[in-house]
Chains A and B, each alone.
Chain A
């Protein structure tokens, strides 16, 4: 008699690992299948910024819920996951951007989050390497930073301690109706199967509205204290919404090692894995506008990754209408590290038929899916 799993999770990025983590709390027989290394795809190209984002009401709810879940886990995480309370400092480039800061503050505060407006003097005190004369910014002290790859591995390790299984080195070629077919022809049975293959999710579930959006990252050598908070320009969401082929926004993160991780770029160029030197140059120029001295810091590596982008910038979390045994947890764009945990919770709620703490409707997988 063949084994029937309660649930199979396809994909061992941080979202798949988070699904396995929460599913294994409720189901004894969970299997995660990953063809490569755990956390080796978009997870490895993520900055690891755990941030509450105010792009839309649904995004705010999902990121805030996720952040609460991360905060619950922080005391248990291995030191190698490098959880750090850096906060986020949203930097205004000009008076126009600064004029919106107070509205943003009110939004965060009305949702029970701390937020502090910094004026031109306070922002330089908070970040001495920022350009002089910036009008100010908004500090969200509750945001943090983790190391995505070790965090993904930790979530999976915990799931395995609860009895979940890992099948590594095998690719899934087909899934649906509770059946999962591997590249060696084996078919596995489960009550439900979660497609957590991120930017590749539409391969296994045709018709999902997911497009790869390429990003570049730059990392420096170690300069402890050069940057203290996760710095993001207030125009970041504008850049994220820019549906044109290419956009760049200033984003600088202090790593636990003292290194500075520099983002961010967004491009719709398919799966081209090459480094775009012109785009790197634009990122450097952008970073230099905010941190005029950063050009002299030593760079040790550049790399690229792909975000799984959806038309409304919200992840797809839910079951297929025509195939309720197939669940989707994909399309997390640039927020997958943050939103992985809430996604895992929501998937576990759906699988066990219970209500969730937040409204799941905005993330429902729509009928755009062709069978």
Chain B
């Protein structure tokens, strides 16, 4: 009988929030585990390019090992078989680890809103395309249309230009006046201004505000996009379309653990504690706020998890300031209603099960639609289409069942009896 590997604090997710939590907790000598699906810690934002480890990631790794944080890289938490135990699938197969406190720093994912052609090859998310380029996709001389909403548009636009792509246009659905107000508000966030200016020079001429993709065209892959601005339609030829409408929180693991969800986000108190005893949550699952808010939330969670409440409280003011920033982003990049009306009856909504918009209009809830059309029943378990149907039809998502993500059948073959209590 294998003995259960026990930790004072287990952190799930090694992005900004998770790294901050792990470092904070380990800094006081607690035994800390850090679990992440990727091969290396850092999350999407610090993701290293293939064949090289960026300086920031190397720094992160050194810091973690100095503090004896036990890393479970390339590992997916696929269920929570009993109180205080997570079950992982990773390089060593199925593994159970125990925790006294748990910090869920599981991040967010891009929001896709269906429009005709959005499932064509070479049409993908903004972060998705960036990750592919980091993994080795060559975009030199390729024409990439970047579209959607939010600061990531500009950041990835600049990144693609640096990597030799041609970026004919960047389509931001938010109107210029909201962007201008947001830009003016940046005065209060000096760090963000620096980022804003360095981005601005590269991309100002390419940015179209109040513009969005109506459809993507192409026979075997994307060849062009038709986009709309000021009541007129335009067409631009391209080799890739990177399009996403901001982020939605990953709340599946919190839900599986029984954490209360409020308005789509994990409900936490001042100390980042969820409704479940000993379970904390930090970063995007508690509200989309970006890297700085995630870091301070992660740090608070990590400190409270090991009883350093005073240290944590000292960070509350900083957190509030980044929350204000997040709220101003929410206002500036609020989604326009036209985006909810782009799909035709033929447009695929659920990619896994090939369910089209026309198949869904008859149903009154995600549950009925699921039973009758299999919408959301495929390998992604509604991760992609769930948020879309929520925006399009106002459907709320149902319960979460293990495995949280696909695992080999043999991973489910390990009885719980083997966990030594």
A interface vs B, CB < 8 Å?
Answer: 37-40, 44, 80, 149-150, 153, 218, 220-221, 257, 262, 275, 277-278, 280-282, 284-285, 287-288, 294-303
Determine if B415 is an interface residue (Cβ-Cβ < 8 Å).
yes
Alpha-carbon distance between A301 and B353 when the two chains are bound, in angstroms: 14
Q: Are B412 and A37 in contact (CB under 8 A)?
A: no
A293 vs chain B, min Cβ distance (A): 10
Smallest beta-carbon distance A169→chain B, Å: 9
Query: Is B381 an interface residue, CB under 8 A from the partner?
Result: yes
Least Cβ distance of A21 to chain B in Å?
Answer: 17
Q: Is the CB of A37 within 8 A of B409?
A: no
Query: Chain B residues with Cβ under 8 A from A280's Cβ?
Result: 412
Asked if B164 is at the interface (CB within 8 A of a chain A CB), the reply is: no
B386-421 at interface with A (beta carbon < 8 Å): 401-403, 406-417
B409 adjacent to A149 (CB under 8 Å): no
Give min CB distance, A241 to chain B, whole Å. 25
How long is the Cα–Cα vector from A153 to B363 in the complex, in angstroms? 12
Q: Is B81 an interface residue (CB 8 A)?
A: yes
The residue of chain B having its C-beta at the shortest distance from the C-beta of A284 within the complex is B413
Cα distance, A277 to B414, chains bound together (Å): 8
Query: How far, in angstroms, from A301 to B415 measured CA to CA in the complex?
Result: 17
Q: Contact between A37 and B401 (Cβ–Cβ < 8 Å)? A: no
- How distant is the Cα of A292 from the Cα of B72 in the complex, in angstroms? 29
Contacts of A275 in B (CB 8 A): 401-402
Contact call A37/B413, Cβ cutoff below 8 A: no
Counting contact residues on chain B (CB < 8 A from A), the size range is 20 to 34
Q: Does B95 reach chain A (CB closer than 8 Å)?
A: no
Who on chain A is nearest to B406 by CB? A298
A280 to B372, CA, bound (A): 26
B389 CB to closest chain A CB (Å) equals 15
B413 touches A44 (CB 8 A): no
Are A302 and B407 in contact, CB atoms less than 8 angstroms apart?
no
Q: Which B residues are in CB contact (< 8 Å) with A277?
A: 79, 81, 412, 415-416
CA gap between A44 and B398 in the complex, in Å: 14
A–B pairs, 20, beta carbons within 8 Å:
A37-B365, A38-B368, A40-B367, A44-B371, A149-B372, A218-B412, A275-B401, A277-B416, A281-B412, A281-B416, A287-B409, A295-B413, A296-B408, A297-B408, A298-B409, A299-B406, A299-B408, A300-B379, A300-B403, A301-B381
Indicate if the CB atoms of B403 and A302 lie closer than 8 Å: yes
A220 to B410, CA, bound (A): 12
Given contacts A37-B367, A220-B409, A284-B412, 12 further A-B contacts (CB under 8 A): A40-B367, A44-B371, A285-B413, A288-B410, A295-B408, A295-B409, A297-B408, A298-B379, A299-B411, A300-B403, A301-B403, A302-B403
Complex contacts, B412 vs chain A, CB 8 Å: 218, 277, 280-281, 284, 299, 302
Decide yes or no whether B377 CB sits under 8 A from chain A.
yes
Closest to A291 in B: B409
Taking the closest CB of chain B, its distance from the CB of A74, in whole angstroms, is: 19
